[in-house]
Structure 1
């Protein structure tokens, strides 16, 4: 059996993964972390219990790193075999990845759980463009009441990076046509230099967090950037 846990709301997805682990331990299963190189081995072994008769549940981070493309490979066949077998349980954790990006896994998964950000986050991202400072800051303060600061920052950073990619080389992006069209309209509201400077400002927030050199909170820093560039 294959359970996939994914979604751009990494915090909610991680909480779900931890809850599953806790429940399985309470049911006397052992949790064993495995890597991509272990997958084929799992299909060649019988169900293994430890000295106390506990059956193992395997957890992996990022099957999609190798389970992709149309070409048949021993690795992909092994994953498909695991998904069909009832005597092997594999839980795949896809950090910050939407279902759209891992559709091949979704097609074979026994259970597929995607954790999407709440609508308010998307409203914030859509409001990030010049001459819209007041709406952006108002939405930011509202979103900050119910979301982790770093999660908000990460979503905004990824979004602005995507807008830059659309401006520089849209062929590098794998997006649904409707999504690319919507983002392109937002990107056109920016001058390339201004958008790039805004992105650099966001990366500086990340750098200051890592070096503990940040004088302001993440939300305050995002508001200051908005005052300069929006």
Structure 2
């Protein structure tokens, strides 16, 4: 059976991948960006008695730029062996043209809830009540770590679009579409740069303290206070 795991929420999709891996007694994991048709053919044709099931995980198979003919060849070989357990994991949402190569596959997509993006675009001073209510609504379907990660990312992007000379000019900012930059610039207009830098450092400290086990309160409570104080 071929299973494709993908989506914007790479943390949740990775957790699901680990669950799938635990189902297999025998398993090989390959970096999809590096694997070739020859590697796959050798794997499936091998006769290692310790690896009878020939279960395989391919990570980020669609990330590498390949010709359509090469992709079709790889897909054909995988489908010829779909009686085995074949898992394709993508850290992003896979394009439909890739999914269409495997019409009989089981597709598991992990995307962020739409309300999360509305929440991120609403990060601005004086909006604490709405942010607090929305934050707890999102917590019903998303892990707190994911939400914090996305808040950190959003503030970093805001800093990136208003201060082109700073360390916040990350590669992700440079790759944004013009309309995305315009929306970020509009949101950044609610802050002055010093204040935005200050809350970024504060959030970074909360995140670091949580990850190192030194946060003095539950993470949810710390984010509650943070949102009210933006």
1:1-230 equivalent positions in 2, closer than 5 A:
4-18=4-18, 20-21=20-21, 25=24, 30-35=26-31, 39-40=35-36, 41-45=38-42, 46-48=44-46, 50-51=48-49, 54-63=52-61, 67-68=64-65, 81-85=73-77, 86-87=79-80, 91-95=87-91, 97=92, 99=93, 103=95, 106=98, 110=102, 113-169=108-164, 172-229=173-230
Structure 1, unaligned stretches of length 5 or more? none
Change (3 A) 1:125 1:35: same
Name the TM-score, length of structure 2 as normaliser.
0.73
User: What's the secondary structure of 1:128's corresponding residue?
Assistant: coil
Indicate conservation of the 8 Å contact 1:7/1:115, yes or no.
yes
User: How far apart, in 2, do the equivalents of 1:173 and 1:108 lie?
Assistant: 31
How many pairs were matched up? 215
Structure 1 runs, 4 residues or longer, greater than 6 Å off: none
Is the 2:5–2:109 Cα contact (8 Å) retained in structure 1? yes
Give me the CA root mean square deviation.
3.5
TM normalised by structure 1 equals 0.73
Q: CA distance change for structure 1 residues 185 and 3 in 2, over 3 Å: closer, same or farther?
A: farther
* 214-223 or 107-116, which deviates more: 107-116
Q: Following the alignment from structure 1 to structure 2, what is the Cα–Cα distance between the partners of residues 176 and 88?
A: 40
CA, structure 1 residues 77+42, in 2 after alignment: closer, same or farther (shift >3 Å)? Answer: farther
CA distance in 1, matches of 2:113, 2:34: 35
State the Cα distance separating 1:168 from its structure 2 match: 2.6
Q: Tell me: CA distance 1:103–1:176, structure 2 relative to 1, closer, same or farther (3 Å).
A: farther
In the TM superposition, residue 6 of structure 1 has moved relative to its aligned partner by 2.4
Extract unaligned runs of 5+ from structure 2. none
CA distance in structure 2 between the partners assigned to 1:21 and 1:48 by the alignment: 21
Residues 4 and 109 in structure 1, CA contact (< 8 A), matched pair in contact too: no
Q: Deviation string for 1:184-216 (max 9, x for gaps)? A: 321222212211211111111122123211001
Structure 2: how far apart are the matches of 1:153 and 1:5?
A: 23
